[in-house]
């Protein structure tokens, strides 16, 4: 502390700024930016996983729609009969095709028009003719890329290069399968998937990641830019060697070997991290500059006025009592400056008028202050009193005075409890221990004339009451009830929690008691805002209960069944729990 006091005010503010502002801002900034960076990375990873899942779900939906369509066509008995029929003339075939087969296939095609673009049945039935939905299996067809090397019995996903109408070639996905395995003819169903939703979704996900739909041979069928790529001549595009995420279509029988690969958009992630760092640094710089400016203003305010005050003090030693003319302010230094000006004026007046007499008077006042300080030092400190009681307690135990030692121990605990102002409410169990110590001292004072009994339920012990409230009721019973008896006195303390949750504490004594008229008058005085001359303790307890719990609290006095008084304290559940 001495070294701190030796530092100039400006140095203190600089040190305070560095240790109290700049260093915590830097530490907090590093911590926040580290967590923000990690959060951005985690969020980008989650976004990328969700984006890849959306692409996977879209691709799976497209494939499942094609599979469902192929299953429906394969199980259609009417289509099977029409395809297996041998027609005796082109007229009969075209009449059957336009009247029966084409409407059926049109209905199937329209039902899946969002997922499927074309539906074609290839057959080697020599009585059928090329056109519409049905085509021959010619050697040229067998040479096409989509045509399977082995006729599939179930659905199978394939990729081939086809020419769009009015556009360049694109990579096309199709589902192929064998129709009607018991037919005398070979019938292959080819369903072309709608590539636009898949390519559009891959394009939309470019903000988070680059997605590649990879065929079993390792080439990319759908990839970033494939929707706009109108110059595809072969299938030579491959995904990057190292990718961040991947999902396999292995669970779908017709898509074994197909995978979705993705690379997270690192540039987007780095931009977000960079923006967060820049914003954090800007906030840190602004806060630091603002705090530094405030520190400079405050330090100048204190240092300049302090230096001005020191200069005038130095001039006062040369008997120059000119006051400080500038506005001193209203803070502590301003008040010190104002008092300094007043002191200078008074000193100037004292020196000019009654220097010696006033000096003697000041000396006398100083002696009075010293005497008052000595008097204050001679006051008994609570710790001195506790130490004295403990010393008497040790002496009593050492000399075998066990009863006196118990009384001293209880008195010491009571005094410590009375000077402790840190708690306004305490658990009832703690309050009952305090009451037990008070009754122990009362038993000693009454020479065995007093007996007491406690009946407190465990649920009630956990509830809270105002400190020294039950003790006040017990003390009132001892003072006004048992003390005036010539026979054995008895005090009972009962506490329980009723069904509505209210805590009820009853203090019963077998004292002289009061008549009903006096009890009503006493209750009116206790509840009155005017201070009472007698029974101040009861009025204090009532006011404290009313302060803590409002109108829901109750303090009631009534006559006992045989003789004596009963004091009942009721604390509501919502406040006492």
Tell me the pairing of strands 220-222 and 209-214: antiparallel
pLDDT for the residue numbered 535: 62
Query: Please, which residues bridge with residue 269 across strands?
Result: none
Average pLDDT over residues 324-337: 69
pLDDT higher than threshold 70 for residue 450: yes
pLDDT higher than threshold 80 for residue 385: no
pLDDT for the residue numbered 164: 62
pLDDT for the residue numbered 378: 39
pLDDT higher than threshold 90 for residue 506: yes
Average pLDDT over residues 215-230: 75
pLDDT for the residue numbered 373: 39
- Reference 477, options 498, 494, 458; nearest CA is 494
- 523: confidence class by pLDDT, cuts 50, 70, 90: confident
Residues 6+ apart with CB under 8 A from 323: 312, 341, 344, 345
pLDDT higher than threshold 90 for residue 291: no
pLDDT higher than threshold 90 for residue 60: no
Residue 222, class by beta-carbon neighbours within 10 Å (0-12 exposed, 13-18 middle, 19+ buried)?
Answer: buried
pLDDT for the residue numbered 103: 92
- Reference 453, options 411, 495, 419, 392; nearest CA is 495
Average pLDDT over residues 410-423: 60
CA distance 300 to 502: 61
- 285: confidence class by pLDDT, cuts 50, 70, 90: confident
Greatest mean pLDDT among 108-117, 375-384, 477-486 lies in 108-117
Average pLDDT, the chain: 78
Lowest mean pLDDT among 116-120, 444-448, 540-544: 444-448
Question: Among the residues of 161-265, which ranges form H helices?
Answer: 195-204
Average pLDDT over residues 398-417: 63
Domains of the chain, CATH where assigned: 49-264 (3.30.450.20), 287-370 (no CATH), 449-576 (3.30.565.10)
Q: Does pTM surpass 0.85?
A: no
Average pLDDT over residues 157-182: 74
Q: Do residues 575 and 542 touch, judged by C-beta distance below 8 A? A: no
Q: Do residues 168 and 234 touch, judged by C-beta distance below 8 A? A: no
Question: Among the residues of 318-354, which ranges form H helices?
Answer: 332-352
pLDDT tens digits, residue range 457-472?
999 888 988 888 888 8
Tokens found for residue 237: 């595009």
**Phi, psi (deg, nearest 5) at residue 323:** -75, 165
The enclosing H or E element of 544 equals: helix 536-549
Buried b (16+ CB within 10 A) or exposed e, 543-564: ebbeebbeeebbbebeeeeeeb
Average pLDDT over residues 474-489: 82
pLDDT for the residue numbered 368: 46
pLDDT for the residue numbered 372: 41
pLDDT higher than threshold 90 for residue 15: no
pLDDT higher than threshold 80 for residue 132: yes
pLDDT higher than threshold 60 for residue 258: yes
């Amino acid at each position: 502390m001495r070294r701190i006091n030796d530092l100039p005010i400006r140095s203190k503010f600089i040190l305070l700024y560095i240790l109290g502002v700049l260093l915590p801002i830097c530490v907090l900034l590093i911590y926040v930016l580290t967590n923000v960076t990690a959060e951005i990375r985690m969020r980008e990873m989650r976004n990328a996983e969700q984006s890849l899942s959306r692409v996977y779900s879209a691709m799976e939906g497209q494939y499942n729609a094609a599979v469902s369509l192929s299953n429906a066509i394969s199980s259609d008995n009417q289509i099977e009969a029409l395809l297996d029929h041998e027609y005796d003339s082109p007229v009969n075939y075209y009449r059957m095709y336009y009247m029966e087969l084409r409407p059926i296939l049109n209905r199937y095609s329209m039902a899946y028009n969002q997922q499927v673009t074309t539906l074609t049945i290839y057959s080697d039935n020599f009585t059928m003719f090329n056109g519409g939905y049905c085509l021959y299996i010619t050697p040229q067809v067998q040479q096409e890329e989509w045509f399977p090397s082995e006729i599939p019995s179930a659905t199978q996903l394939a990729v081939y290069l086809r020419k769009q109408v009015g556009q360049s070639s694109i990579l096309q996905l199709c589902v192929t399968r064998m129709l009607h395995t018991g037919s005398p003819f070979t019938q292959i169903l080819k369903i072309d998937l709608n590539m636009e939703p898949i390519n559009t979704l891959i394009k939309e996900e470019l903000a988070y990641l680059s997605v590649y739909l990879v065929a079993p041979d390792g080439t990319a069928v759908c990839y970033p830019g494939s929707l706009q790529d109108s110059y595809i001549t072969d299938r030579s595009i491959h995904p990057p060697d190292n990718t961040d995420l991947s999902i396999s279509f292995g669970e779908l029988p017709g898509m074994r070997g197909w995978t979705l690969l993705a690379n997270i958009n690192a540039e987007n992630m780095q931009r977000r991290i960079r923006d967060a760092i820049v914003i954090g640094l800007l906030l840190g710089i602004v806060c630091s500059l603002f705090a530094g400016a405030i520190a400079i203003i405050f330090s100048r305010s204190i240092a300049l006025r302090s230096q001005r005050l020191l200069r005038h003090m130095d001039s006062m030693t040369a008997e120059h009592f000119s006051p400080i003319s500038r506005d001193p302010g209203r803070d502590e230094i301003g008040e010190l400056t104002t008092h300094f000006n007043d002191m200078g004026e008074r000193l100037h007046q004292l020196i000019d008028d009654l220097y010696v007499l006033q000096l003697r008077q000041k000396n006398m006042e100083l002696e009075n202050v010293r005497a008052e300080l000595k008097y204050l030092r001679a006051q008994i400190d609570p710790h001195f009193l506790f130490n004295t009681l403990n010393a008497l307690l040790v002496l009593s135990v050492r000399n075998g005075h066990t009863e006196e030692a118990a009384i001293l121990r209880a008195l010491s605990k009571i005094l410590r409890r009375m000077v402790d102002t840190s708690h306004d409410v305490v658990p009832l169990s703690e309050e009952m221990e305090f009451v037990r110590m008070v009754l122990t001292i009362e038993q000693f004072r009454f020479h065995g004339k007093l007996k007491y009994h406690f009946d407190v339920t465990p649920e009630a012990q956990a509830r809270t009451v105002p400190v020294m409230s039950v003790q006040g009721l017990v003390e009132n019973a001892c003072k006004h009830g048992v003390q005036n008896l010539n026979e054995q006195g008895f005090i009972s303390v009962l506490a329980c929690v009723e069904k509505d949750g209210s805590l009820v504490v009853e203090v019963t004594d077998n004292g002289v008691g009061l008549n009903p008229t006096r009890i009503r008058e006493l209750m009116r005085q206790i509840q009155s805002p005017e201070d009472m001359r007698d029974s101040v303790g009861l009025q204090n307890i009532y006011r404290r209960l009313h302060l803590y719990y409002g109108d829901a609290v109750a303090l009631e006095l009534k006559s006992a069944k045989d003789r004596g008084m009963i004091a009942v304290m009721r604390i509501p559940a919502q406040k006492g729990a």
